Structure 1
Amino acid sequence: MILVTGASGQLGHLVVNSLLAKGVAANQIVAAVRSPEKASALTEQGVVVRQADYTDPASLQAAMADVTRVVLVSSSEVGQRAAQHQNVINAAKEAGVELLAYTSILHADTSPLALAEEHRATEAALKASGVPHVLLRNGWYSENYTMSAAMAVEHGAVLGSAGEGKYSTAARADYAEAAAVAVTSEDQAGKVYELAGDDAFTLAQYAAYLAEISGKNVVYQDLPEAEYAKVLVEVGLPEGFASILADSDVGASKGGLFDDSHTLSKLIGRPTTPIQDSIKQALS
């Protein structure tokens, strides 16, 4: 059986869908979720739904019953993730799983992004645990930007602190498919995949794509890191998260979110989703 953590989340549910699409029987997939009542759609598909909370070791141990492989989708709670991931690793070790696939961050070992710190800690914990594992170092999701595409078009501006930094983004579904491929393939233990989109763009180019697709004037406005973080707070983001996003843009300006190895498209056997397609979907 294959367990997917955070299976009702944005990436986790796509991993479950990808496993089903690959022909894995629904009753061989365990969707580990914090609130089973919110996963009724998975239950209706025949997927095994089990309650599990990253912060509750006992629930994780119970959810791992009869599980042989695990997709550890990184927690969304920045600042708490290293400890939460350790709980999952401990439960997987106790269950004797044969492979754990972890969704890390692109070039985690050298990344200038503050977000990479907890991923490095988790990778170190996995190594220390002895649990056979494969690292899926995911680049930026296209949705990180396209979820606010309509707002950018409305205001005629994309704001950021990335300068001429390039983003090699791909759709969440592309990364989910990669996780499904890795966790269902043989001889994956010890592998490290640097996963990113086939085509990179600067935020100025992203603004140009928005303009072209929407027919409206959209430009990129580059801001100092502190000023960009302040703007994000003003539009309603928590101060800590705003700082993380601004730091990530600065990290991108240093090459932290660029990769041209095409590892992702090679792993999933098809080109990654172009940013233009993600923009069209977001604006439709």
Structure 2
Amino acid sequence: MIVVTGASGQLGRLVIKELLKKLPANEIVAAVRTPEKVADLAALGVQVRLADYAQPATLDAAFKGAAQLLLISSSEVGQRLPQHRNAIDAAKRAGVGLVAYTSVLRADTSPLGLAAEHKETEALLRASGLPHVVLRNGWYTENYLASVPTALQHGVYIGSAGEGKIASAARADYAAAAAAVLTGAGQAGKVYELAGDEAYTLTELAAEIARQSGKAVVYQNLPEADFKEALLGAGLPEHVAGLLSDSDAGVSKGGLFDDGHQLSRLIGRPTTTLATLVKAALA
């Protein structure tokens, strides 16, 4: 039995979609804080269990009988470490055979501020003695494409990434990798650096948006503080604006570039191209 935490989220749902291609639905558990949000998965025969990282008792029940557990990192930046510790402790109590954790690209050396909690979680996993595999996910291309409507409206795509290369991939590519690991043999002890086959700068992203939309769009590079102010002005919460501006600054230092092609090898196909994803975003 495979348990997927955060199963109502965008990545979790895609992982379960991939697992359903390989396993009977009743061998998959969607572990979620709000079971009503995955009624569609329950209708397919997927087991739905309450699981709240902040409530260890729910985790004990959710992880019972799990051969493999996909620990999708918490969305609550700043609270991840205690929440992940609860999940790892519960996995140990449940005797889970393999824990797969979604970390971040090169967590041990990354210049991105958000990498700290991932690095610490990886250390918790090592200390736990649990068989585990680390999926160090690069950026989701969708993270950048969320800004396409604003870029089209103003003719400018803003950021503070400079000419840093971004080897991102589609969220579905990372989901396929997680499913491959969860259903594969001999995964314990592995660390995967997962990134897209192609890399681009935000200047090149803006050019691709312009090419496909037929509208003038250029990239404007801003100092990190100015980019954060622009994000705050757009209505983003302080912590989100800080996270995004810090991550963009990390891009300028090579934090989201990788050319090892481990992701495409793991999923057995090329990663989804930027052009394909821009087309979908424009549609």
**Which residue number in structure 2 is paired with residue 43 of structure 1?**
42
CA distance in 2, matches of 1:49, 1:113: 34
CA distance in 1, matches of 2:77, 2:25: 31
**Which residue number in structure 2 is paired with residue 7 of structure 1?**
7
Letter in 2 for 1:37: E
**Which residue number in structure 2 is paired with residue 131 of structure 1?**
130
Task: For residue 113 of structure 1, report the CA deviation from its aligned partner.
Answer: 0.3
**Which residue number in structure 2 is paired with residue 193 of structure 1?**
192
Structure 1: state its 5+ residue gaps.
none
Letter in 1 for 2:62: A
Contact 2:73–2:101, Cα closer than 8 Å, also in 1: yes
**Which residue number in structure 1 is paired with residue 253 of structure 2?**
254
CA distance in 2, matches of 1:216, 1:11: 31
CA distance in 1, matches of 2:239, 2:70: 27
CA distance in 2, matches of 1:205, 1:161: 14
**Which residue number in structure 2 is paired with residue 103 of structure 1?**
102
CA deviation vs aligned residue, 1:211-254 (integer Å, no higher than 9, x gap)? 00100000000000000000000001111210111110110100
Matched, 1:162 2:147: no
Letter in 1 for 2:2: I
Q: What is the TM-score of this pair, normalised by structure 1?
A: 0.99
Contact 2:68–2:98, Cα closer than 8 Å, also in 1: yes
Task: For residue 4 of structure 1, report the CA deviation from its aligned partner.
Answer: 0.2
Task: For residue 193 of structure 1, report the CA deviation from its aligned partner.
Answer: 0.3
- Give the match's secondary structure for 1:30: strand
**Aligned residues with identical type, % of pairs:** 62
CA distance in 1, matches of 2:153, 2:279: 15
Task: For residue 148 of structure 1, report the CA deviation from its aligned partner.
Answer: 2.0
- Give the match's secondary structure for 1:103: strand
Q: What is the TM-score of this pair, normalised by structure 2?
A: 0.99
CA distance in 2, matches of 1:260, 1:126: 26
CA distance in 1, matches of 2:97, 2:35: 26
CA distance in 1, matches of 2:63, 2:238: 36
CA distance in 2, matches of 1:17, 1:151: 31
Structure 2: state its 5+ residue gaps.
none
**Which residue number in structure 1 is paired with residue 90 of structure 2?**
91
CA deviation vs aligned residue, 1:242-283 (integer Å, no higher than 9, x gap)? 011111011010000000011000000000001111111111
Matched, 1:221 2:220: yes
CA deviation vs aligned residue, 1:137-179 (integer Å, no higher than 9, x gap)? 0000000011221221121111000101010010000000000
Letter in 2 for 1:210: I
**Which residue number in structure 1 is paired with residue 20 of structure 2?**
20
CA distance in 2, matches of 1:259, 1:241: 25
**Which residue number in structure 2 is paired with residue 68 of structure 1?**
67
Letter in 1 for 2:156: A
- Give the match's secondary structure for 2:130: coil
- Give the match's secondary structure for 1:11: helix
CA deviation vs aligned residue, 1:14-58 (integer Å, no higher than 9, x gap)? 01001112x211000000010101111100111000011111100
**Which residue number in structure 2 is paired with residue 274 of structure 1?**
273
